[in-house]
Chain A
Amino acid sequence: MEALTDQDGIKRYLVNINVNGDPYTVIVKANTLLVNLLRDQLDLTGTKKGCELGDCGSCTVLLDGKPVNSCTVLAVEADGRGITTIEGVARSEKLDKIQESFVNNAAVQCGYCTPGMILSAKALLARNPKPTEQEVREAISGNLCRCTGYVNIVKAVLEATGD
Chain B
Amino acid sequence: MYLPDFDYQSPGSLKEACQILAAFGSRARVLAGGTDLMIKMKHGLLAPDVLVSLKNISQLAGIGYVQGRGVVIGARATHNDLVNSPVLQKKYLSVCEAAHHMANNQIRNVGTVGGNIVNAVPSADLPPILIALNAAVKLVGADGERELPLESFFTGPNRSVIGTDEILSEIVIPDQTSTGSTYMKFGLRRSGALAVVGVAVAVTVAGGVLKEAKIALGAVSPTPMRAVKAEELIRGRAVTDELLEEAGVCAAGECSPISDIRGSKEYRQDMVRVFTRRALRRAINEGHV
A29 at the interface (CB under 8 A from B): yes
Partner of A54, one of B51, B106, B190: B106
User: What 1/0 flags go to A6-23 for Cβ under 8 Å of B?
Assistant: 000001010000000000
Question: What residues of chain B lie closer than 8 Å to A57, measured between beta carbons?
Answer: 104, 106
Q: Check B2–A141 contact: CB distance below 8 A.
A: no
**Contact residues of B with A, CB < 8 Å?**
1-8, 10, 31, 34-35, 38-39, 42, 51, 53, 55, 80, 103-107, 109-110, 190-192
Q: A30-B51, A31-B3 are in contact. Are A73 and B107 (CB under 8 A)?
A: no
Question: What residues of chain A lie closer than 8 Å to B38, measured between beta carbons?
Answer: 33, 54, 71-74
**Contact residues of A with B, CB < 8 Å?**
1, 11, 13, 29-31, 33, 36, 52-55, 57, 60, 63, 66-69, 71-74, 76-77, 120, 138-139, 141-142
Q: Which residue of B lies closest to A141 (CB)?
A: B191
Question: What residues of chain A lie closer than 8 Å to B34, measured between beta carbons?
Answer: 72-74, 77
Q: Check B10–A1 contact: CB distance below 8 A.
A: yes
Partner of B5, one of A29, A55, A67: A29
- The answer for the CA separation of A72 and B39 in the assembled complex, in Å, is 7
Q: Check B105–A31 contact: CB distance below 8 A.
A: no
Q: Check B106–A60 contact: CB distance below 8 A.
A: yes
Chain B proximity of A117: nearest CB distance (Å):
12
Beyond A72-B110, A76-B8, 11 additional contacts (C-beta under 8 Å) are A30-B6, A30-B7, A31-B5, A36-B2, A52-B1, A52-B42, A54-B35, A60-B106, A77-B31, A142-B105, A142-B192
Q: Which residue of B lies closest to A51 (CB)?
A: B1
Q: Check B106–A68 contact: CB distance below 8 A.
A: yes
Partner of A69, one of B3, B7, B106: B106
Q: Check B39–A67 contact: CB distance below 8 A.
A: no
Q: Check B109–A63 contact: CB distance below 8 A.
A: yes
Q: Can you list 29 A-B pairs with a CB-CB distance of less than 8 A?
A: A11-B7, A13-B8, A29-B5, A30-B6, A30-B7, A30-B8, A30-B51, A31-B6, A33-B3, A33-B38, A53-B39, A53-B42, A54-B106, A54-B107, A63-B110, A66-B109, A67-B106, A68-B109, A69-B110, A71-B1, A72-B39, A73-B34, A74-B34, A74-B38, A141-B105, A141-B192, A142-B103, A142-B104, A142-B191
By secondary structure, the A interface counts as mixed
Partner of B105, one of A13, A36, A76, A139: A139
Question: What residues of chain B lie closer than 8 Å to A77, measured between beta carbons?
Answer: 31, 34, 53, 55
Q: Check A31–B2 contact: CB distance below 8 A.
A: yes
Question: What residues of chain B lie closer than 8 Å to A73, measured between beta carbons?
Answer: 34, 38, 110
Q: Check B8–A74 contact: CB distance below 8 A.
A: yes
Question: What residues of chain A lie closer than 8 Å to B7, measured between beta carbons?
Answer: 11, 30
Question: What residues of chain B lie closer than 8 Å to A67, measured between beta carbons?
Answer: 105-106, 109
Question: What residues of chain B lie closer than 8 Å to A60, measured between beta carbons?
Answer: 106
- The answer for the CA separation of A75 and B55 in the assembled complex, in Å, is 13
Q: A30-B51, A31-B3 are in contact. Are A72 and B8 (CB under 8 A)?
A: no
Q: Which residue of A lies closest to B50 (CB)?
A: A30
Q: A72-B38, A73-B34, A77-B31 are in contact. Are A141 and B6 (CB under 8 A)?
A: no
Partner of A142, one of B3, B4, B42, B106: B106
Chain B proximity of A91: nearest CB distance (Å):
25
Question: What residues of chain B lie closer than 8 Å to A30, measured between beta carbons?
Answer: 5-8, 51
Q: Which residue of B lies closest to A60 (CB)?
A: B106
Question: What residues of chain B lie closer than 8 Å to A138, measured between beta carbons?
Answer: 105, 191
Question: What residues of chain A lie closer than 8 Å to B4, measured between beta carbons?
Answer: 31
Question: What residues of chain A lie closer than 8 Å to B106, measured between beta carbons?
Answer: 54, 57, 60, 67-69, 120, 142
